[in-house]
């Protein structure tokens, strides 16, 4: 794995994102896709909404991924040697799906105190402009968090259809296309969005949310995060069990509480619970 170049690190600081970062071969990522789809096939071909969230507690292969040096080495270059993984989330747009993600900044909704939270988004299938890859608005990770409105569109993958309220100059936006096995990295304050999938394959991504251990949860009373590298000298988050296999009983029991804690934060003050997670 090639370390991030100085130019990529300064791009992250200035623009708020890096894309693409090669992580694994398309064959290896395809094998992870097969594990996911084999599981989906046991329950009618889709994940249930609660299985999208804190999914590393359900799937051993995903817990391995959040600890994989190919994912963590670039994260360490950006936020230092002590790293917590707060959440993992599946973003699946079926072939021909109208699912989209409106322009938003995650910092507005996650209840986390730090400016240093990073989303690493790994493609398990091609994330192209046509399949609805992410778009970002460079530089929006600095300065005040923008005002958002909850718009509750059925096709919006976000919990409450949250959307930046004012006009955005979309001419400044840039797409983050990814080949299978590549990831993008963005600061969770960066404004981002994505469009529908007009291809005949599923667009499958996993986002992994990493943060330094001095981060606190300021909306929820209780929250959890896995220590994936280094030390946690702050103890602000409960430590989840490490699954020894897919659907490990202890980790599944923890997932009930941990995924509910995330839902409580994401739906705090929302007018509706759309049950998207």
Ligand X SMILES: O=C(O)CCC(=O)C(=O)O
User: What is the contact surface with ligand X in residues (CB under 6 A)?
Assistant: 91, 101, 106, 119, 121, 134, 192, 194, 205, 207
Placement of tokens 């909704």 in the chain:
109
Least spacing, CB of residue 96 vs ligand X, in Å: 16
Cα–Cα distance measured from residue 51 to residue 54, given in angstroms and rounded to the nearest whole number = 7
Say whether 226 sits in a helix, a strand or coil. strand
Least spacing, CB of residue 82 vs ligand X, in Å: 23
Closest to ligand X by CB, 187 vs 248, is 187
Least spacing, CB of residue 233 vs ligand X, in Å: 28
Closest to ligand X by CB, 106 vs 223, is 106
Least spacing, CB of residue 193 vs ligand X, in Å: 8
Closest to ligand X by CB, 204 vs 226, is 204
Least spacing, CB of residue 175 vs ligand X, in Å: 11
Please give the sequence-ordered ranges of beta strands (E in DSSP) within the chain, or none if there are none.
17-22, 83-93, 101-104, 118-123, 134-136, 148-150, 162-164, 174-176, 182-187, 192-194, 203-211, 226-229
Beta bridge pairs of residue 182: 22
Least spacing, CB of residue 23 vs ligand X, in Å: 15
Cα–Cα distance measured from residue 189 to residue 107, given in angstroms and rounded to the nearest whole number = 5
Closest to ligand X by CB, 180 vs 207, is 207
Cα–Cα distance measured from residue 165 to residue 150, given in angstroms and rounded to the nearest whole number = 9
Cα–Cα distance measured from residue 109 to residue 103, given in angstroms and rounded to the nearest whole number = 13
- 203-227 burial by CB neighbour count: b if 16+ within 10 A, else e? bbbbbbbbbbbebebeebeebbbbb
Least spacing, CB of residue 91 vs ligand X, in Å: 3
Closest to ligand X by CB, 4 vs 92, is 92
Closest to ligand X by CB, 58 vs 266, is 266
DSSP, residue by residue, 104-135: E-GGGTS-B--S--EEEEEESS-B-TTTT-EE
Asked if 60 contacts 243 with a C-beta cutoff of 8 angstroms, the reply is yes
Measure Cα distances from 249 to 60, 86, 257 in Å: 12, 20, 13
Closest to ligand X by CB, 53 vs 207, is 207
């Amino acid at each position: 794995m090639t370390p991030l170049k100085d130019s990529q690190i300064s791009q992250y600081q200035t623009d708020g994102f890096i894309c693409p970062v090669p992580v694994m071969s398309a064959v290896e990522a395809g094998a992870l896709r097969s594990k996911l789809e084999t599981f989906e096939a046991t329950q009618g071909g889709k994940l249930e909404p609660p299985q999208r969230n804190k999914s590393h507690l359900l799937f051993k292969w995903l817990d391995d991924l959040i600890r994989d040096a190919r994912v963590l080495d670039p994260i360490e270059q950006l936020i230092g040697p002590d790293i917590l993984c707060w959440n993992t989330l599946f973003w699946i747009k079926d072939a021909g799906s109208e699912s989209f993600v409106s322009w938003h900044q995650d910092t507005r909704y996650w209840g986390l105190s730090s400016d240093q939270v990073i989303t690493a988004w790994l493609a398990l299938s091609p994330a192209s402009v046509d399949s609805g890859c992410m778009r970002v608005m460079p530089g929006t990770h600095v300065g005040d968090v923008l005002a958002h409105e909850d718009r509750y569109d059925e096709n919006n993958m976000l919990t409450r259809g949250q959307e930046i309220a004012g006009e955005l100059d979309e001419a400044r936006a840039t797409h983050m296309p990814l080949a299978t096995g590549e990831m993008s990295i963005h600061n969770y304050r960066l404004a981002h969005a994505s469009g529908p999938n007009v291809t005949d394959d599923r667009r499958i991504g996993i986002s992994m949310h990493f943060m330094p251990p001095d981060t606190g949860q300021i909306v929820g009373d209780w929250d959890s995060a896995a220590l994936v590298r280094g030390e946690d000298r702050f103890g602000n988050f409960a430590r989840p069990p490490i699954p020894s296999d897919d659907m490990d009983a202890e980790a599944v029991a923890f997932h009930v509480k941990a995924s509910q804690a995330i839902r409580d934060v994401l739906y705090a003050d929302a007018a509706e619970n759309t049950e998207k997670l």
